[in-house]
Amino acid sequence: MDYWRLLVKLQTDNWCTLPTAMGEFRMYDTTDDNISVICIGDIKSQGKLPLLRIHSSCRASEVFGALDCDCADQLRESMKNLVFEGRGMIVYQQQEGRGHGLSLKITAVRAMEYDNLDTAQAFEKLGLEQDIRTYAEAVELLKQLNISAVRLVSNNPRKHQYLSDHGIQTQMVNTNPNIRPENREYLFTKNEKLGHMLPLEASSYESEPVYFYHSDQPWGELSNFSRHSVFIDGVIWPTTEHYYQAQKFTHEVHRESIRCASTPMLAKSQAYTLVDQFGRNDWEAIREDIMLTALRAKFSQHPDVATKLLSSGSRKLVERTTNDEYWGDPGDGSGQNRLGELLMKVRAGLTSQVSSVSVLMEYH
């Protein structure tokens, strides 16, 4: 650890704003170009048990958009979670190929492609340890901030164990993989052979709930952040989230500003900034009616997402989140899940319409 103290020294007074499509972060100087730190808010005021993601670089997915892993997905999801909570940090480390570097990573991926191997078999063939990453830098940064306990956003028990062994208590926060044809085998191999704990078992049985949250995850079409515009009261809104957040205000200037936000997350963030000073007094009384208006517009104006909603049958719909106990639920029934309830109401209306059309067609 003394070695890292010579290299990594967080400069808490040297930071810049990092505006992103998900929200506004701060980027801090670590005095080491191989280690980056971003956070929401003042890094010295993160409170108890802040969210922490220790993320290893993946040039293929993060820069070039490769689809055969989940690295970029995990980074984006972690950033979203930080923005929703309003605090937390990401330590980004240059540790390609589970610590072996980019050259050996390319060799391993080539072996996977040409020899039909999974990621664990490719490393074995090359005589490589499966994972040689260390997190001493992150531990040192946490200790410089006097942080001794975190909620670690990771599916990797090795990462949790490393922090625990070096004096940082951790609680596990899973990321939710976006399973694609290109990365499906890779994700299951991480669980089966590398000991990861990715929640890969999709709810596909009629008796099980449909869980949704991020717009780029399974069932993401149900999210208010999904990229489906709605036409309401003569105005086009980029997403239902844009419409919902704008209705918190009566002044047109505030509504229009939120409507023009480049992403739904920025629309939400902007509304939160303005609502205490300019928000309408009757919001809690009307918010569900506003949400229902937005949802009905979305699913009536986009037949593809209406079909997706109807495909859920009679399954319970749950916005799975720990960030909003009113609109969502963490999956244990402790939240009110009002968004899920309203979606089921919209689904019932669509089902009734489909049944009525079927009856008319049979009659004629």
b/e per residue, 88-110, with b = 16+ CB within 10 A?
bbbbbbebbbbbbeeebbebbbe
Amino acid letter for position 249 = F
**Residue 329 annotated as catalytic:** no
> 2 to each of 95, 139, 278, how far by Cα in Å?
20, 12, 51
Catalytic choice (68, 70, 73, 131): 131
Question: What Rg do the C-alpha atoms of the chain give, in angstroms?
Answer: 23
Rounded to whole angstroms, the Cα distance separating 308 from 355 reads: 17
Catalytic choice (133, 158, 180, 315): 133
From the number of C-beta atoms within 10 Å of its C-beta (0-12, 13-18, 19+), residue 219 rates as buried
Work out the angle at residue 163's Cα, subtended by the Cα atoms of residues 160 and 168, and round it to the nearest 5 degrees.
Answer: 115
Backbone angles phi and psi of 335, in degrees to 5: -95, 165
**Residue 131 annotated as catalytic:** yes
Residues written for the chain: 364
Amino acid letter for position 203 = S
Torsion angle defined by CA atoms of residues 239, 241, 243 and 248, in that order, rounded to the nearest 10 degrees: -170
Would you state the structure tokens that stand for residue 307, as one six-digit string? 């079909």
10 Å Cβ neighbour count for 173?
Answer: 18
Beta strands in 41-105 (DSSP E): 51-56, 88-93
Adjacency order of strands within the sheet including 149-153: 11-19, 24-29, 35-40, 88-93, 51-56, 149-153, 169-173
From the number of C-beta atoms within 10 Å of its C-beta (0-12, 13-18, 19+), residue 11 rates as exposed
Are the beta carbons of 53 and 40 closer than 8 angstroms?
no
Are the beta carbons of 92 and 38 closer than 8 angstroms?
yes
Please identify every residue annotated as catalytic: 131, 133
